Amino acid sequence: MKKQIFYILLFTATLSFAQKPMVKAEIDTTNIRIGEQFQLKISVDETANVIIPKIRLKGLEVIDSTRIDTIKNSLIRRYILTGFDSGAFYIPQQQIFVKNQAFLTDSLLVNVATVAIDTTKVKKFPIKSIKKEPFTFDDFKIYIYIALAILAIIGFWIYWFVIRKRKEEEEAPTYRTLPPYEEAILRLTELDDKLLWQNNKVKEYYSELTEIVRGYIERELKVPALENTTDEVLEMIKDFKKTDTIETSKETIDKLKDLLREADLVKFAKSKPLALEIEDDRKDAEFIIGNLKPKPIIEKEDELE
């Protein structure tokens, strides 16, 4: 009976040992130089309900890792490790969970060696000065704004005192003072082109016609003919004729009297002369301008001689 119990317990223990999964950690090298990479492989002889947590390291760093691979009913995960400090570093035991039970891997020792540098073969370079930051718009904007303001002031000054003044001088009309006779004939021609009386503007026509004649008398004889009445103008002309200071005829004076009085009737009495009468008055105006002149001074000197 005792032997049967012993065999049962032995069988149970053997079965339990056979069912325990195998968890293993391996590295492909135990000696590296600073910065070199090596591989850590963790394998579990089980595929169901396996959890491999994030590995814990001291003095070493994980560069990369692969996904968990399933090979022949086993799970394998690989890590790429390196070290940047010299010395001996342990990869501590890693805890793996299989069917909610924790299993530990073995700890592993890795030696990280320094790299010997032959200073006699290393080319030396002078120490570089501190590199300045690149310039930006904000570094110069105040100077740009000042420059633009100065250019605007200079541009305004040039326009106002040079270009504008020159433009005004170019645009300023230049007049050449015509002699009294030429000016009067020119104004008569311009009056004809306006076609005033032909468009029923008889009053405006006679006002401008007599103004031309009066203006000629004022400039040629140097009397205020534009400001005086018709009778005053006629009286001055007669006085000039008596003193023999003008060259004219009785016909010219009569035509001047008729023209000025006809204009007064049109302007103040609303008289409406016929077209033929208007044309005759236009001819009379030109006749008066051509035949009413002051006597030349040279002729008086000849008479004295």
pLDDT single digits (tens) 90-102: 889 888 888 888 8
Backbone φ and ψ for 93, nearest 5 degrees, come out as: -60, 135
| Cα–Cα distance, 233 to 259 (Å, whole number) | 12
Q: Structure pTM?
A: 0.43
Q: Which two three-digit tokens encode residue 263?
A: 């204009």
Helical (H) or strand (E) element with 97: strand 95-98
Determine the Cα–Cα distance for residues 169 and 305; give it in Å rounded to an integer: 51
- Is 3.40.50.450 the CATH number for 12-113? no
- H or E stretch at 110: strand 108-113
DSSP 224: -
Neighbours of 270 (CB within 10 A): 9
287 burial (CB, 10 Å; 0-12 / 13-18 / 19+) is middle
pLDDT tens for the chain, 305 residues long, are 555 555 555 555 554 444 567 888 899 999 999 989 999 888 888 878 888 888 888 888 898 888 888 887 888 889 999 988 888 998 898 888 888 888 888 888 999 998 776 666 666 667 777 777 777 777 777 888 899 999 999 988 888 877 877 766 666 555 568 899 999 999 999 999 999 999 999 999 999 999 999 999 999 888 888 888 989 888 888 888 888 888 888 898 899 999 999 999 998 888 889 999 999 999 999 999 999 888 876 544 444 44
